[in-house]
Amino acid sequence: MAAPSSSSTCSGVMERCIRERVPPLLTDLYQFTMAYAYWRAGRHDEHAVFELFFRDDPFGGGFSLFAGVHDCLLFLRSFRFTDEDVEFLRSVMPPDTDPAFFQFLRCLNCSGVTLHSVPEGTVVFARVPLMEVAGPLAVVQLLETSLLCLVNYASLVCTNAARFRLAAGPKRKLLEMGLRRAQGPDGGLTASRYTHIGGFDLTSNVQAAFLFGIPVAGTMAHSYVTSFTSLEEVWPQTLSAVNGEHNPVDIISLTKGWLSRVCDLLGAEPGKIHEGELAAFLSYAIAYPQNFLPVIDSYSVGCSGILNFCAVALVLCELGYRPVGVRLDSGDLCKQSLDVHRVFRLCSEQFSIPAFDSLIIVGTNNISEESLAEVNSKENAISVVGVGTHLVTCTKQPSLGCVYKLVEVRGRPRMKVSEDPEKSTVPGRKAVYRLIDPEGHPFLDVVCLAVESPPEAGLPLSCYPLGCNHTALSVTPARVTCLRQEVFSKGQVTQPLCSTAETRAKVQRSLQTLHPRHKRLQKPDSYTVALSQKLHNMVKEIQKGSSNNTNFLLAN
C-alpha cells in the first residue's frame, strides 16, 4: 500500500486538473445561443437565480449523497474564456452572430456569481434544492451543463458506494477496482474518488491515489500466475532472512520441504499441484516478501492454489516475514473462504505459526450490491471485498437526473408549469431547513421562501409535503439546521475546501444520523420533503394564474 500524497500537492494538482477537465467550452451549444439572445436583447446582466436538484432518490433507495461541490467551486473560480475558446465559438455559432458578443465572452468570469449549496457529503433527498446559483443571467445560464456534469455522476456513484458499504456492514474492508470497466479515464478517476468518499477503504487506481490521497492496494492478476510453467523460471532462487543476519537460503528447496509437510497435513495429492503456479508465487514472494497476497484460483483452489500459498507463506514466516493473505476470484466465495480459513488454522496449530491466524482473504467475483448483501448474510471468512463493474458503472441506475431550473429573474419568481406534475418547478428564492427529532434523526426537510423566518425548535410548524395532494402537516422539531450555506461569492470560494478524507468522514457522520428505516436497501420509508405555508400558497397562486392564461397574449 502506498502512502497518500500531501494535501497541498493534491490541491494544486486538482485545480490544474479542473481547468483541463472542465473548461468553459465543456457545455452544450444552446447555452451560448441563449446567452447571445439575452445579450442581444440587453438582458444579459439581469439578476437571475437557478436551482439544482434531482427528482427521485436513486437505486430505489431512500436517500442520496451530495457530491461534486468541491469541483464546482474550483470550476467557478477558474471560469474564463481564452482567445482560442472565443475563436472556436466564432466558427461554430450562426454566422449572423454580432462580433461584439465574442468580446463580451472574452471578458466574462464568475465575479458576479453567488453559490449557496448543501455541503459536500451530506445526505440529501429528492426535490430538495441542493444548490442556488445567482448572478447575471447570461453567466448563470452558461454554467448549467458544467455544474450538472460535475455533480450528477459524483453524487450517483458516491451514493452507490454508500449502499455497498451498508450491504457489507461496518467492519469488512471494501476495495474499489473498477477503473478498467469505467466510462473512460475521467469516469474512472471520478469513481475512485467518490466511492472512497462514499465508504470504500481502498482503490486499485494509482492516479486516484496520487490526486486524492486514497490508500491504494493491489498485488497480482491471473495472467501473472499463468505466465509461469516451471520452477526453473524462478530467479533469483535465494532469499535472505528479514534481519539479514544469515546468508541467503535456497528458497526453492525450502519451499518443496514445506509443500510436502502441508500435503501430508491436508491429505492432498502432490501430483495435482501446478508447478507453474508455485513458481509464480515464489517469484512474487522473492520480489515482495512483505506483501505476499496471490490470487489462488487460477487452476484449483483446493488441489493447488491453497497448498502452494501455504508452502511459500510458511517459508516467508520461517525467514521472519509476514505474508498478507490470498485472493479468491471465482466460485462460491463464502464456502471457499471457510475452507481456506480452515487450512490457515490447521497450519497455525500444526506448525506453531501464529502469523497464519491473521492472514486475510480477499473476495472478488463480479460483486453486486445484492451479492454483497448475500455474502454478509452467510457464514464466511472474507476480510476484504473488491468491487468493480457494478460499483463504478452504477448498473442499477445509470444517471441521477439532476436538473437546473430558473426560479427567479429581476426579483420575480419564475415557475415551469408542466402537464406532467413531476416536471413542474417550485418558484422563488428559498431557504432549506432540516428538522431533527428528539433522538437526533432528521425526519423532514422544509423548503421556505428566503424572506421567511426559519422554523424554531420546539414550536409547531405547518407545512405541505410534496406529492401529498395539498394536505397540510403539523410538525414540531426538537432541533433545526439550515442545510445550505454560501460557498462562493465575488469570484472567491468562501468556505474552506475539505480534503477527500474530511468529506469521507462527513459522509459517515451524516449517514449515522439517518434513521434505519430510511437507510434500508430494500423498500425504505420515504423521507418527507415539504413546502412552507407561504411557499405553498405562492405556488398555488402562480398555477392558478397560468391556468387562467394571465401570462399569455390572447388574440381577439
SS (H, E, C) 377-426: HCCCCCCEEEECHHHHCCCCCCCCCCEEEEEEECCEECCCCCCCHHHCCC
Residue 50 has pLDDT above 90, yes or no: yes
Neighbours of 162 (CB within 10 A): 26
Confidence of residue 546 (pLDDT cuts 50, 70, 90): confident
Neighbours of 24 (CB within 10 A): 23
Q: Calculate mean pLDDT across residues 118-147.
A: 98
Residue 554 has pLDDT above 60, yes or no: no
Comparing 1-10, 17-26, 426-435, which segment has the lowest mean pLDDT? 1-10
% of the chain exceeding 90 in pLDDT: 90
* Between 137 and 14, residue with greater pLDDT: 137
| Cell numbers given for 209 | 491515489
User: Please, which residues bridge with residue 403 across strands?
Assistant: 53
Closest CA to 407 of 461, 447, 371, 445: 447
Q: How far apart are the first and last CA of the chain?
A: 77
Structural domain spans, the chain: 7-165+397-546, 218-387
Task: Return the pLDDT at 185.
Answer: 95
Confidence of residue 550 (pLDDT cuts 50, 70, 90): low
**DSSP line for 447-471:** EEETTSPPP-TTS-EEEEETTSTT-
- How many angstroms from the chain centroid is the CA of residue 347? 40
Q: What is the pLDDT of residues 171-194, one digit of tens each?
A: 999 999 999 999 999 999 999 999
Task: Return the pLDDT at 555.
Answer: 41
% of the chain exceeding 70 in pLDDT: 96
User: Please, which residues bridge with residue 173 across strands?
Assistant: 384
Q: Calculate mean pLDDT across residues 487-508.
A: 97
Task: Return the pLDDT at 553.
Answer: 47
Task: Return the pLDDT at 10.
Answer: 58
Task: Return the pLDDT at 1.
Answer: 45
CA distance 496 to 499: 9
CATH architecture of 7-165+397-546: Alpha-Beta Barrel (3.20)
Closest CA to 323 of 315, 332, 333, 331: 315
Average pLDDT across the chain, whole number:
94
CB 117 within 8 A of CB 493: no
* Between 269 and 10, residue with greater pLDDT: 269
CB 423 within 8 A of CB 416: yes
Q: Calculate mean pLDDT across residues 230-254.
A: 94
| Cell numbers given for 213 | 490521497
Neighbours of 310 (CB within 10 A): 29
Confidence of residue 9 (pLDDT cuts 50, 70, 90): low
Residue 4 has pLDDT above 90, yes or no: no
Q: Work out the angle at residue 355's Cα, subtended by the Cα atoms of residues 349 and 358, and round it to the nearest 5 degrees.
A: 100
Write out the CATH class of domain 218-387.
Answer: alpha beta
Q: Calculate mean pLDDT across residues 289-294.
A: 97
Q: Do the domains 218-387 and 7-165+397-546 match in fold? A: no
CA count, 13 A, side-chain hemisphere, 330: 11
Handedness of CA 84, 89, 95, 97 (dihedral sign): negative
Residue 556 has pLDDT above 70, yes or no: no
Residue 468 has pLDDT above 90, yes or no: no
Q: Calculate mean pLDDT across residues 378-384.
A: 97
Task: Return the pLDDT at 471.
Answer: 87
CA distance 38 to 35: 5
Residue 421 has pLDDT above 90, yes or no: no
Q: What is the pLDDT of residues 311-346, one digit of tens each?
A: 999 999 999 999 999 999 999 999 999 999 999 999
**DSSP line for 270-307:** GGGS-HHHHHHHHHHHHH-TTS---B--SS-IIIIIHH
Q: Is the peptide bond before 248 cis (omega within 30 degrees of 0)?
A: no
- How many angstroms from the chain centroid is the CA of residue 216? 16
Q: Work out the angle at residue 427's Cα, subtended by the Cα atoms of residues 422 and 35, and round it to the nearest 5 degrees.
A: 95
Q: Calculate mean pLDDT across residues 87-92.
A: 98
* Between 396 and 544, residue with greater pLDDT: 396
Q: Calculate mean pLDDT across residues 116-125.
A: 98
Q: Calculate mean pLDDT across residues 501-521.
A: 96
Burial 65-84 (b: 16+ CB within 10 A, else e): bbbbbbbbbbbbbbbbbeee
